[in-house]
Structure 1
Amino acid sequence: MEELNEKHDNVDVQGFTVIQVKYSEKSKAAHCLYLKEHNVREEDKCKPRETTLFVLNIPPYCNEEHLRHMFSPFGKVLRVYLHDKPSSGPPRTDTSKYFPTVKMHEGFKVAYIVFRKPNAIKKAKNIPYSKPLVISSETPHKDTCTGMGKWCKAYEKERINVDDLQQEIDEYMAQYDSRVEEEKQKAKDNEGVPDDDGWVTVTRHGKNKGVPWKESQEKKVTAREKKKRKDKELLNFYSFQIRETKREQIAELRKKFEEDKQRIALMKASRRFRPY
């Protein structure tokens, strides 16, 4: 499975060049990275095929600055992208500090290192297997944390600065209000104005004139009108039922009244005068 080139001391595994990296010069344990040229069918503007190095098995504590530090001796590094798995385009980033939408991957990652010149990839692939690269210098990088320091940094990062949070919320609400006002003004300016084909867009408006009638509002009004019609139909049905019930009750009372009249007449006829 492994092919060892004694002349250059290189190890190739299934098309990947294997190199070793160490956390620092004093570290005895080494970690293996797998390199090869980034070669895909579709052209990616962010990751040109001629100048991009594809790297696998990046350890969790290694970030973009560490990779730039390790591979800069082979050529000018323009960009470094870290992904959870091989993908095209740049990685997604969060625009908010306190409301993240991108889940951070804390395990092993893949990297795309974009050099300025193509010969930097050849130099990186010719790294001797017996000479590990060093992730950090003699003085550990400020972003390199392991052990207790890593957990302390994570704890400090989770602590929320109330002032910064309030400032971010205020900025977002200001942008939102500005966007809403622009939509109102745009709807007001475009109302009744024909387009290039001569069509005029007609929009319904709510209480705030100038605000286009949205689909959600249309659904609410339609549901409300349907409910009104249904209630009206039920009301008419129940009114008819009540009238029929009253008529039946009146007929029953009249029947009982006639029966009582006949009973009273019979009682009067059977009554006799008995003075003693």
Structure 2
Amino acid sequence: MPKGPLEIAGYTVLPLQLPPVRSFPKPATHYLYLHPHEPRIPDPDSSRSLFLVNVPIDTTETHLRHLFGTQLSAGRVERVDFEGVPTKKRDIAVVQGSLSNSKKRKRVTADELQTQLENTKLPSTWDRQLQKSGAHAIVVFADKPSMEASLKAARKASKDGTKIVWGDGIEDRLPPLGVERYRAHDRLRYPPRADLLRAVNDYMTVFHQAEEARAREAARKVQEPDEDGFITVTRGPKNNSVAREEEIKELVEKQKKQTEGLEDFYRFQTREKRKERQNELLKKFEEDKKKLEEMKRRKGKILPE
């Protein structure tokens, strides 16, 4: 009876040999589970994607491109979406591309700019990200035949027991792990001033564009007729900075009016406390005066009138 590929619950099991390291010189076998990507809500990329489970913790996009393109000699990988990474990278890239080419771009909405704003980050302090133990990834291929050829090649390698060394041949293309990774992290904790300025400027540029887009959308909504067909007449558009200054002034005046009574109350309290303190001092002075008079009387001295 011919031996078939290893399968568990519909997943193809692909054994991978992890290369030895100093801390663990004996080679170990890691099992990668593959399955056609079948999400509950299909998207245009589902038919040409593979769902990978239990990827090694040091997995990078370079590893998976090398695995399917070179070691299995099957399909061409377009991109890899790892667990915990937003899957709307292409939408963000489209927004960034449209912003860079202002002449040919169509108007970007405030929501799209807000999405780009949320994904704008400072320079990373790690030169290589590690995956969680047992994490999954979605590998999107150039087309459906590439995905099917890759899955077929993985099943054949599992059936034949082909030895696949994880990351063999790409060691020099990836940042090192171990102590060197933490040394690099210590250096990246203090990025160059130019990189910080570039990140901050990019953030502020998108922030102002998002503010302008919100103002345009708000002005457009004001000009739209309501259910009865009427349009609300306003004083006209205002500059954002002027409008904000007026709003701040109104808030300050409103706050002053709300605290007018409280200020009088606090002054009244201060005045009453001052009076109480004066009365206590006068009372203590009279008591000390009586004590002094009593001491002089006992000594036989006549008190002056």
TM-score (normalised: structure 2): 0.55
Larger CA Rg, structure 1 vs 2: 1
SS at match of 1:74: coil
Identity, in percent, stands at 20
Q: How far does residue 55 in structure 1 lie from its aligned partner after superposition?
A: 0.8
Q: Which has the higher contact order (CA 8 A, sep 6+)?
A: 2
Aligned twin of 2:120: 95
Change (3 A) 1:169 1:119: closer
Change (3 A) 1:57 1:227: same
The count of aligned residue pairs is 220
Q: Are the aligned partners of 2:20 and 2:28 in contact in 1 as well (CA < 8 Å)?
A: no
For structure 1, which runs of at least 5 residues remain unmatched after alignment?
1-5, 240-276
1:139-177 Cα deviation digits (max 9, x unpaired) = 514215232333333333333112221233234345545
1:192-233 Cα deviation digits (max 9, x unpaired) = x8435441353799xxx533857x948x84685365156359
- Distance in 1, matches of 2:236 and 2:262, equals 28
1:74-99 Cα deviation digits (max 9, x unpaired) = 222222211149x9766999433338
- Distance in 2, matches of 1:13 and 1:201, equals 67
Aligned twin of 1:132: 163
Aligned twin of 2:137: 111
Residue 147 in 1 paired to residue 178 in 2? yes
SS at match of 1:21: strand
Aligned twin of 1:195: 224
Q: Are the aligned partners of 1:35 and 1:53 in contact in 2 as well (CA < 8 Å)?
A: yes
User: Which among 44, 51, 56 is matched to residue 59 of structure 1?
Assistant: 56
SS at match of 2:51: strand
TM-score (normalised: structure 1): 0.60
For structure 2, which runs of at least 5 residues remain unmatched after alignment?
93-117, 269-305
Amino acid at match of 1:74: A
- Distance in 1, matches of 2:257 and 2:233, equals 29
- Distance in 2, matches of 1:58 and 1:231, equals 65
Counting only pairs closer than 5 Å after superposition, residues 1-276 of structure 1 correspond to structure 2 as 7-24=2-19, 28-45=27-44, 47-48=45-46, 50-72=47-69, 73-84=73-84, 94-98=119-123, 106-108=131-133, 109-115=135-141, 116=143, 117=145, 118-120=147-149, 121-128=151-158, 130-138=161-169, 140-143=171-174, 145-177=176-208, 182=212, 186=216, 190=219, 194-196=223-225, 197-200=229-232, 202=234, 210-211=239-240, 217=247, 221=250, 224-225=253-254, 228=257, 231-232=260-261
Change (3 A) 1:77 1:94: same
Q: Are the aligned partners of 1:38 and 1:54 in contact in 2 as well (CA < 8 Å)?
A: yes
Change (3 A) 1:83 1:175: closer
| Structure with greater helix percent | 2
SS at match of 1:133: coil
Amino acid at match of 2:55: I
1:25-63 Cα deviation digits (max 9, x unpaired) = 997222111111212331123x31x32111111112110
Change (3 A) 1:52 1:140: same
